[in-house]
A and B are shown apart, each in its own frame.
Chain A
């Protein structure tokens, strides 16, 4: 609970109805897309930069944690108010302020939905490249905070490669523009440091992004493989041939079954794994590349090769991929998803380790992921109503990440460290590495009020998942 005086101060800044502090309403903001939750003391719905700055100033003055929050689709607990305080909701800041078709840039507020920007930019023949699977709902502000990826980042790069500049509010309430649209700025690259900092350095209130020309031709192919291993070999072979497709995605047999049952997109359900490959460019380029890729795939045991013949067919294939995790609900109601990254050539090893861990814990695992980047997405499927299973799920996930790290990988490719993986940071970084990162944190947020408890290991936290309300809910058999 915040002191009444603080709540009143917040109401003066954003308006009475824009501060939520009734117990029932707060529950809506308890979680993001990950498992653990914690109630905020108040939710503030900000409408502009001045309000964000005002709220952060009040918070700083009273030493109250502030957690910026977009659509809440994050998968690592980044938007969870683990130490209570204020959830600073920016989804009312949803204007596209400017699209400059000549410079190929856009300036947006942080609450603009990812896909909406591409839809509007399409009027000018342009699109915004980073395309997380949650792009129908997730916000550009959240994407910038998490440095989000997506299937097409294989060729086009992740969010940080597309953010030209940002307006940010620091922990002391001061407002700054970092970088801009000219290259080679003078001084330190603050913008580059802030992208991906998960709201722990500042709040983002405007984002200037690069837009790209929509390619004249797009070709989407599907190929079946007898196993995950053979599909992984094919991935390495395609890239080894000097071809970097726009996207190169893999789905295993479990995922394909669920997706096909839901979308009827014509995925081969008998396959051990399926690759979805997309190339774009001129008509000549896509023709040449599809032929070359088709040959590499069939040379590597690919079969049932199929190219989408119409835009509708292409969209259906992608709907299956991007909706895959939802479709997994047909198997079990809950999923737990990690997104470790390995060097691409280690995919067969890490996937067989993931399979073994799933078998050991008797938990079904569905893999659907960005194979070209080596970015895994093993979905551990379970039913939260089974009260013992969550510990098992958590342990299985941890073991999978262990396998990733042992193969020279990293903890997260695009979902962020957040709450979920902060305890594992010492697996990949030394005390000195983390110490250097902490110096950055202390410069931006000396009092530690910006999204506390994220990224850096917190020795006071023991059990990760049962600390939040989810644990209470299970105890109380709410399901």
Chain B
């Protein structure tokens, strides 16, 4: 079981790489920690000898306003980065749940996203460069600081969502976006049918969320006239934009994320236990479930999600509950290739043992 681990808080990427190498050469289990927001994600850690915190790696390395590109160290919080970008009227279109306090490295490692994914995609789409410390002490970069780049393999994709299982992200570069010219939030009580109606509008919402009480929240951005016409056609009530900040603060103690092909999501959510609390991004194909029922209901839902080509992943739960349902569900058929990648980068299995699939 988990004993008291050593806590390392290096202040440079090279120092972090050195600590990682030292631990790895002694075959100590290393758990990278950013904001600590996603510690409930993944299998209950089998071992943790060293906690490797990135929080002191918190610099903006370079924000090139004219190029709309920013490079940061991995331990910077999303809020601190947004503050920097806002000086130039820019932003990173990322509004993850369980905010505030996420670090950029943590968000990249976990792949956590929020409602704005509907319009902007996930960091998978706007991460343009990455720097990763590897267990052998090497620090390897991929990508660069340009918005379009096919020079070599896409190492950003390799590490995005890999939960620190191949290396510890120490820095990242992003394409950032101009704040929209016009940004209006509206709401209705009309449930799925209203959500579908809004998604079919000639202006696709930047974000659209539906809640278990039937409420729908949509955000339209872009052309003033076009947004006003669409909102007029919908006839929904205007809502204060600050509601999105409160929405991103959601962080259930027993929390599952259901991801499915968009066309299958409604059926899956409607099959949740009666009275279940959930919210969903139907345009993306993701639903979040604040679990109030037992483990068997989670496993039944997971089976349905997987049959529809989707997944149910636990984002948080008490250890015993997590052990009962399992964090990830059925591994993909390509698991063996993933294991080979793991062995190539972390041959002794020191990074996050037991937590990720590999």
Q: How many residues in A have their beta carbons less than 8 Å from beta carbons of B?
A: 86
Query: Does A115 sit within 8 A of B, measured CB to CB?
Result: no
Docked CA distance A158–B142 (Å): 17
B212-231 contacts to A (CB < 8 Å): 222-226, 229-230
**Interface segment, one of B5-13, B98-106, B154-162:** B154-162
Chain A, Cβ-Cβ closest to B88: A240
Contact indicator A343/B145 (Cβ below 8 Å): yes
Query: Does A323 sit within 8 A of B, measured CB to CB?
Result: no
Contact indicator B67/A193 (Cβ below 8 Å): no
Evaluate whether A288 and B341 lie within 8 angstroms (CB atoms) in the complex, with A103-B263, A430-B141 already known: no
- A428 cross-chain contacts in B, Cβ below 8 A: 144, 151
Docked CA distance A249–B155 (Å): 28
A183-227 contacts to B (CB < 8 Å): 183-193, 195-197, 213, 216
B196-221 contacts to A (CB < 8 Å): 202-204
* Nearest CB on B from A341, distance (A): 4
Query: Does A146 sit within 8 A of B, measured CB to CB?
Result: yes
Evaluate whether A288 and B223 lie within 8 angstroms (CB atoms) in the complex, with A183-B259, A343-B64, A345-B66 already known: yes
Contact of B181 among A103, A242, A432 (CB under 8 A): A242
Contact indicator B124/A439 (Cβ below 8 Å): no
Contact indicator A413/B148 (Cβ below 8 Å): yes
Chain A, Cβ-Cβ closest to B134: A436
Query: Does A1 sit within 8 A of B, measured CB to CB?
Result: no
Q: Is the interface of B mostly helix, strand, loop or mixed?
A: loop
- B158 cross-chain contacts in A, Cβ below 8 A: 188-189, 192-193, 440
Evaluate whether A433 and B141 lie within 8 angstroms (CB atoms) in the complex, with A189-B161, A190-B338 already known: yes
Q: Per-residue 0/1 for B146-188: is the Cβ within 8 Å of any A Cβ (1 yes, 0 no)?
A: 1111111111111011100010000000000111110000000
Chain B, Cβ-Cβ closest to A216: B202
**Interface segment, one of A82-90, A278-286, A392-400:** A278-286
Contact of B331 among A187, A439, A441 (CB under 8 A): A187
- B66 cross-chain contacts in A, Cβ below 8 A: 236, 240, 343-345
**Interface segment, one of A266-274, A311-319, A329-337, A370-378:** A370-378
Evaluate whether A146 and B150 lie within 8 angstroms (CB atoms) in the complex, with A189-B124, A288-B225, A439-B345 already known: yes
18 contacts between A and B (CB under 8 A): A176-B333, A180-B309, A183-B285, A184-B311, A186-B311, A187-B328, A188-B161, A189-B160, A192-B158, A240-B66, A281-B202, A284-B229, A285-B225, A410-B144, A413-B150, A430-B141, A434-B152, A443-B340
6 new A-B contacts, CB < 8 A, other than A157-B121, A181-B309, A285-B225, are: A192-B154, A196-B150, A284-B229, A285-B226, A412-B149, A455-B153
